[in-house]
Amino acid sequence: MTRERTGTSFLDLEAYIFDLDGVLTQTARLHAAAWKGMFDEFLRGRTAGTGGEAAPFDEGDDYQAYVDGKLRAERVTGFLASRGIELPPGDPADAPGRETVAGLGQRKNELFHRLLQEQGVEVYPPAVKMVRELRQLGKKVALVTSSRNGPLIMAAAGLDGLFDAVIDGNAAAERGLKGKPSPDIFLEASRLLSVSPEVAAIVEDAVAGVEAGVAGGFGCVLGVDRGGNRVRLEQAGADVVVSDLSRVGRGLPDATGAVPCLLQEAGGRKLMVFLDYDGTLTPIVSRPELALLSPTVRETLARLAALTPVAVVSGRDVADVRALVGLDGLIYAGNHGLDIQGPRGVGMQSEEGTAALPLLAEVEEALWAKLEGVGGVLVERKRFSIAVHYRLVDDAHLPFVEQVVDSVLSVHRGLRDVPGKKVHDLRPDIAWDKGRAMAWLLRAQGASRHTVFPLYLGDDLTDEDAFRFVRGWGAGILVRDGDDRLTLATMTLAGTQEVEQFLVQLAAQLAEPAENAREAPEDRP
């Protein structure tokens, strides 16, 4: 099967729907073993004393053809039909093993529970990591499984509470949804997420699941090959087939040496440069006050600011980041943009943030009272937020720090926890972030998509909001420090040293047209 490719990036979609068995959990083999045990037991009893013999259940071919992705009753009737056997449907209350479709389904479930108890549930860590990272990026995620044991498996695997919507075999039966390759179960998940199929991705390991995703018109169908199934998944219509989800969405181009390409992409539009501070302009250090700019970076920022607008967008207080940079010609956005100061009267201070000041004072006091005895913890009060740094906290005390933060926020409503690198950033629970700060600054500059090309460099999860905003307009560059997380950025740099080199190249390239313009009159005949 083939289908038209839209060219949409995997991370440009709004929602992601994951299969359970074989994608997130390693329970497919337990299911296959339970089905084989039940069917072979039934076939032996069926042919006993007749001199005949039916072919036993094959955990490879039969599982793929009659079981994987389908609802329980469809699995039983489909396999039995392949052996020329037809049974009455029976009743859900039928005893396990009774010769009805329902009874055989109950017997399989009995065997599966035994195997689950004996062997437990293992997850595929890269797949679970992907789900968590998608949530961090603000994406919607759902789980779909044809198994009636979905809740039991999720609980055993520690996946409870990870999804915005869950459809399992029980819910499918209650709502009259057909099993895969019908798209019903996926379409129901997209409905629960309030998104259209065109902006959602399906992540599946089964041929029937891929066929269902294609039939439902989903924006991307990602096939996961857990063992020699790549060709069949591709033939079923998967847009991409991978054996390991750890690389999906992570293969971004290197921004080193990419300045000419970016300026070409700008196409004559004026550049506006936005920069995070910690982890971007300076390395991450043990204490915030030790994050000092190198002379080269400061000199380069001064050169850039003389050529094009430059804004430093930081989680720090605006006065703090302004003092650390020490340059007058830049725009400074502190507290993730709740407090903005710049040249020529550019400035803004959030009214909602100001209204939250009494609450922030209460939370600061409560945190210090509970964390005072924890070695290495730092509660840093900023004007519009509180940062709880735990980089220097012993691992044994980390659960206590998490517990304290959660308990304080549960009592003092109105703040939200935005996790960063070894820090909990507690901010007023208002619709504001670095992306919205970018939008405000661009409007203040009178910018439009036709006149300005925004460029954002950042390293933290809080920078993803800016990457989301700039996507499709300008360029976002993630500064990696060894992590390999999913990101909405379009390019990467390996660390602060490469950021320094990049900014030096950018300043040099931007200076060339100005120098050429000054020299041009002298060159005329």
Q: Torsion over CA of 172, 177, 178 and 180, rounded to 10 degrees?
A: -60
Q: Residue 188's closest CA among 162, 207, 166, 211?
A: 166
Beta strands in 329-485 (DSSP E): 331-334, 339-341, 347-349, 378-381, 386-389, 415-420, 423-428, 452-458, 475-479
- Residue 322 is encoded by which pair of tokens? 């302004």
Which of 21, 168, 184, 276 is catalytic? The answer is 276
As given in the structure block, the two tokens for residue 126 are 């890269």
User: Among 188, 191, 158, 153, which Cα is nearest to 172's?
Assistant: 188
Count of C-beta atoms within a 10 Å radius of residue 3: 11
What is the DSSP track for 161-195? T--SEEE-HHHHHHTTPPPTTSSHHHHHHHHHHT-
As a residue count, the chain comes to 525
Of 266, 269, 322, whose CA–CA distance to 298 is shortest? 322
491, 258 contact by CB (below 8 A): yes
Cα angle, residue 108 at apex, residues 106 and 110 outer, rounded to 5°: 70
Q: Which is nearest to 4 in space by CA: 183, 237, 329?
A: 237
Residues 407, 367: Cα–Cα separation, whole Å: 10
Establish whether 433 is a catalytic residue: no
Q: From the CB of residue 7, how many other CB atoms can be counted at a distance below 10 Å?
A: 6
Q: For residues 126 and 132, what is the distance between their CA atoms, to the nearest angstrom?
A: 10
Q: How far is CA 170 from the centre of its chain?
A: 28
Residues 44 and 41: their CA atoms lie apart, in Å, by 5
Active site residues: 276
